[in-house]
Copies of this chain bind each other. A is one copy, B any other.
């Protein structure tokens, strides 16, 4: 009896590309293809748009950028040997497509074009790409594999379903799927559902790395038709994920590649074979079992570390500056920076005012010392005096009401000026320390504590800030952040005896309301009927809406929830709707 199955050794190369660096990304692809070959793999799958990086945004509108990407892909193809490589790239034809190149024998043998282009949340793919119109298979080593890109498999149906019907026992998916809390587990469930619906195995290679406000978590996967996880890549780091699959040989002689071209729409599903690939011999030792995934706070912490590291590294900063106040937010930012870059790349700046308590100053110094970071101290009182005199002398038509808030903001702005002064002198990056709860309700000073290049906690609610610090102390087995910081009532320390809860609801309540209003787009009535207190809900809605102009001037920060501020949530500043 002839063989009815073939064993295929597959590698998922979850690499950390850099947006815009087409030559560097192509080089990475060539290197990892060689590594995959050295591990005995026959097919290596790279992430979506690996050549351009993701998201390259309006670079994808520049014809000369697309030309450079095409050239880099062709050069990479020429250099890849002894393995079939699937490489995401932006394809400039009559229109521009989000495409997957099938590379073998030194050339691009076939191209699949993404059909479902996400245009919601952080995604703008309809701005850049025309959708593909046809599913596509490759016949590789006698077995059929379907090709897809990211969103293509997030819903039941085509193209994966028609590829499976056409005989694909394996669906390959190149992704650039950004992280939010729990997204990896969600992706595993989604992939198991697709496998069950189609009876095919699914292999998803996801991008890893930070890009401005997004972190891609890697966590590449292979699942069996039964939904069992056969391979799982590392989270938040590069990884070459190996897997062997026993695949049925195609039963019928598949149509020639020349027959390809039936449109998925409007004439109905079709899945042409785009290329026939002879695979090299399989090699290597049995792949390791799937890694255990991170979960909960450990997962979020790792996402933030990678987000900081890649923003700093990819933008070529040598060192970061954190204004450490002795409060919980700046403590967490310092922890993350030290973990991301090493304490030798962190300068902590302590800037006490007459309203700073001795306890918080001691805590601030202890944090820098516990981490082994550089500590700089600058008392801000001299500048406070200068501003007070200057503003008092400047009579305006208003009288001078509200001097309290102005005086509080001036303190924050003096601190902002000082860290930016150090940054201008040194070229180091200022990490800001505000959390999502504060930024939501505008409890932050523009050009003050909001001044800096990267807002690490922009999407981290205050209640989660506490959990992450506790988590990190636990991992350390000691109080890197003194317990007094965890226990003290939150205060901006901009006037004597000030407490956050003088101005804001308790953070537990505030964060519940914010999750409803910001992340879930719930309206006032829905929130109140679910049991949240009406007057507090009204206050919070008004504060969130009014702070939109501040957020528009905030630095970018790392998305870790289902809806972050920034590209993910686009609201007008001028907006009379309430509720």
A residues adjacent to B (C-beta < 8 A) = 18-22, 24, 55-59, 61-65, 68, 119-120, 124, 126-127, 210-212, 265-266, 310-311, 314-315, 319, 347, 349, 374, 376-380, 382-383, 385-387, 389-391, 393-398, 400-403, 405-406, 409-410, 413-414, 416-418, 420-422, 424-428, 446-447, 451, 453, 521, 523-526, 549, 552-556, 569-577, 579
CA of A430 to CA of B537 in the docked complex: distance in angstroms?
30
CB within 8 A of A398: which of B310, B311, B417, B426? B426
Are B576 and A20 within 8 A (Cβ)? yes
A19 shortest CB reach to chain B, Å? 5
Are A19 and B575 within 8 A (Cβ)? yes
CA of A521 to CA of B61 in the docked complex: distance in angstroms?
8
CA of A525 to CA of B63 in the docked complex: distance in angstroms?
12
**What would 16 A/B residue contacts be, using CB atoms closer than 8 Å?**
A18-B576, A57-B572, A58-B570, A64-B525, A68-B577, A124-B124, A124-B127, A126-B126, A376-B395, A376-B396, A377-B394, A382-B389, A396-B426, A398-B428, A447-B451, A453-B549
Are A418 and B390 within 8 A (Cβ)? yes
In the complex, the chain B residue whose C-beta lies closest to that of A374 is B397
- CB neighbours (8 Å) of A549 from chain B are 453, 555
A550 shortest CB reach to chain B, Å? 10
CA of A140 to CA of B571 in the docked complex: distance in angstroms?
38
Given contacts A390-B382, A406-B421, A421-B406, contact A574 B211 (CB under 8 A): yes
Are A19 and B574 within 8 A (Cβ)? yes
Are B556 and A555 within 8 A (Cβ)? no
CA of A63 to CA of B428 in the docked complex: distance in angstroms?
44
A298 shortest CB reach to chain B, Å? 25
CA of A377 to CA of B396 in the docked complex: distance in angstroms?
10
Are A387 and B426 within 8 A (Cβ)? no
Are B425 and A446 within 8 A (Cβ)? no
- CB neighbours (8 Å) of A314 from chain B are 574, 576
Contacts A396-B426, A403-B425 supplied; 14 other A-B pairs, CB < 8 Å: A18-B574, A24-B576, A56-B575, A59-B577, A119-B126, A374-B396, A376-B394, A378-B391, A382-B390, A394-B418, A402-B427, A413-B417, A413-B420, A552-B556
A402 shortest CB reach to chain B, Å? 5
- CB neighbours (8 Å) of A576 from chain B are 18-21, 24, 314
- CB neighbours (8 Å) of A18 from chain B are 574, 576
Of the candidates A59, A394, A428, A525, the one having the most CB atoms from chain B within 10 angstroms of its own CB is A394
CB within 8 A of A19: which of B21, B569, B572? B572
- CB neighbours (8 Å) of A397 from chain B are 319, 347, 374
In the complex, the chain B residue whose C-beta lies closest to that of A402 is B425
- CB neighbours (8 Å) of A523 from chain B are 62-65
CA of A420 to CA of B178 in the docked complex: distance in angstroms?
37
A571 shortest CB reach to chain B, Å? 5
A35 shortest CB reach to chain B, Å? 23
A254 shortest CB reach to chain B, Å? 28
Given contacts A420-B446, A447-B451, contact A573 B390 (CB under 8 A): no
- CB neighbours (8 Å) of A425 from chain B are 391, 396, 398, 400-403, 405-406
A270 shortest CB reach to chain B, Å? 16
CA of A127 to CA of B390 in the docked complex: distance in angstroms?
49
CA of A376 to CA of B392 in the docked complex: distance in angstroms?
12
- CB neighbours (8 Å) of A416 from chain B are 413, 447
CA of A409 to CA of B422 in the docked complex: distance in angstroms?
11
Are A417 and B417 within 8 A (Cβ)? yes
Return the 8 tightest CB-CB contacts between A and B, nearest first: A20-B577, A64-B523, A21-B576, A447-B447, A398-B426, A406-B424, A20-B575, A20-B576
- CB neighbours (8 Å) of A426 from chain B are 396, 398, 401-402
- CB neighbours (8 Å) of A21 from chain B are 576-577
In the complex, the chain B residue whose C-beta lies closest to that of A522 is B64
